[in-house]
Amino acid sequence: MRPAAGADPAYLEGLNAEQREAVEATEGPVLMLAGAGTGKTRALTTRLAHLLFTGRAQPWQLLAVTFTNKAAREMKERIGALIGERVEGLQWLGTFHSIGAQILRRHAEIVGLKSSFTILDADDQVRLAKQVIEAAGLDEKRWSGRGLASHIDGWKNRGLTPDKVPANEAWHFAEGKGVALYSAYQARLTTLNAADFGDLLIHNLTIFQRHPDILASYQDKFRYMLVDEYQDTNVAQYLWLRLLAQKHKNICCVGDDDQSIYGWRGAEVENILNFEKDFPGARVIRLERNYRSTPAILAAASTLIAANKTRLGKTLWTEASAGEQVKVRGLWDGDEEARLIGDDIEAEQSKGRPLSDLAVLVRASFQMRAFEERFNTLGLPYRVVGGPRFYEREEVRDAVSYLRLVRSADDDLAFDRIANKPARKLGG
């Protein structure tokens, strides 16, 4: 039911001025520069709802890309809460990989695959890389499968097929054999009717380049494009997005150059820094009101990030009360850190603060051990958040490998994984 003439739709209620601008600036390229805690997810989901509610596009004409399946589910749930069952028509809302896989399954034969191709996980990629190294007669102790898989992944993140890898980079692995091994790896994938995660976009790019008519059909289909976490996109993702946006140019990218932390896996912060150059006439909308933190935390973060000279710049602010000052403590090692944090938690507990109000964030999972040992010593109950995802668990990967063998008896990667699971004393 539409609102009365002149009345705002209910989904616009509660948006601040910048969020509303981001929602209603539907035509042409838009960069939503959104700091942490500024309500960017709400602005992004409301923008999608607005495009549908106002009739600017049908659900199947919207391409919305996120970085995780969890983010995609949350976005779909939020849009559903705003516009109801029409959200079910959003067939192109998902991760780069899931949408790339959809497109690839429709045109798999162009790159030598069947539509039923298998998507390899990281373990299978390493296992396949080892097979390629062994077949080439190389010393796997010196040139590891994991190392080759890492090089190949890096090339794919940059949109490089074997024939496009710079000659000097071939020497980065196995004394000049890197590209030949990459080619052999891709040939084995084709034989297995398989693709790794990098292929899902690389093959899309190949299809679009070989068949302009197919590219044109998707350019025509996607009247509006929305991209979350744009600062984390790599070169292949950037090329894919630019190709698809060329007809309508109604692309809205949401990101924060201050939160670019995935350079180690191919992310290029230059993608967000160069947005206005890539899309002339783009509108940049800054979401700067923070709903999550205190002025003390924002001041500390702003002072720190100001040292970064390659940024677009924004000034976060909040109406929250000042809050406690941020403390920086230099300690000798992780064990001392755990002892100090344990003492702090006990002090807060003695003041009547519930443990559910307290959280310990670590940079990497290996750092949790010292804290867990300390909390057990002190008798402090705790809950670890995170850990391996469902499909990354060993037992789940094993079960999936059995299913892959049922579907295809020639899947030697799956066989290699489960031949001795459960233990059968095979192979001596």
Looking at the domain assignment, is residue 394 inside a domain? yes
Once rounded to an integer, what is the mean pLDDT over residues 1-5?
55
| Tokens encoding 71 | 């983010």
Q: Check whether residue 373 and residue 412 sit in a common domain.
A: no
Return the SS3 of 343.
helix
pLDDT of res. 2: 57
Q: Name the domain boundary from 195, 230, 246.
A: 195
Tell me: do 55 and 21 sit in the same domain: yes
Task: Give backbone dihedrals phi and psi of 14, rounded to 5 degrees, phi first.
Answer: 85, -5
Using alpha carbons only, give the angle 246, 249, 251 rounded to the nearest 5 degrees: 115
- Say yes or no: 264 and 242 in one domain: yes
The mean per-residue pLDDT over the stretch 244-267 comes to 90
Task: For 260-300, write each residue's pLDDT tens digit.
Answer: 877 877 889 899 999 999 999 999 999 999 999 999 999 99
With 90 as the cut, is the pLDDT of residue 225 above it? yes
Tell me, yes or no, whether 184 lies in a domain. yes
Q: Identify the CA nearest to 127 among candidates 144, 142, 113, 143.
A: 144
Which class for 89: exposed (0-12), middle (13-18), buried (19 or more C-beta within 10 A)?
A: middle
Tell me which residue of 178, 189, 130 sits closest to 154, measured CA to CA: 178
Let me know if residue 405 belongs to a domain: yes
Q: Which residues contact 331 (CB under 8 A, 6 or more apart)?
A: 337, 340
Token pair 């990030």 in the structure block, residue:
305
Alpha helices in 171-282 (DSSP H): 178-191, 197-210, 212-221, 235-245, 270-273, 275-278
Give 104's strand partners: none
43 inside domain = yes
Query: Is residue 82 located within the same domain as residue 42?
Result: yes
Q: What is the residue type of 256?
A: D
Structure tokens at 87: 């959200």
Tell me whether residue 33 is in a domain. yes
Nearest to 200 by CA among 105, 66, 60: 105
Tell whether 105 is covered by a domain. Answer: no
Q: How many structural domains are present in the chain?
A: 4
Query: Does residue 335 contact residue 342 with C-beta atoms inside 8 Å?
Result: no
- Same domain (yes/no): 226, 187: no
CB count within 10 Å of CB 113 equals: 21
In this structure, what CATH number is given to the domain that contains residue 229?
3.40.50.300
Q: Which two tokens stand for residue 207?
A: 């299809």
- In tens, the pLDDT along 362-390 reads 988 888 889 999 999 999 999 988 766 66
pTM of the predicted structure, to 2 decimals? 0.86
- Please list, in sequence order, all residues whose beta carbon lies within 8 angstroms of the beta carbon of residue 352, skipping any fewer than 6 positions away: none
Tell me how far apart the alpha carbons of residues 31 and 281 are, in angstroms, rounded to a whole number: 11
Q: Are residues 84 and 230 in the same domain?
A: yes
Q: Which domain holds residue 405?
A: 390-419
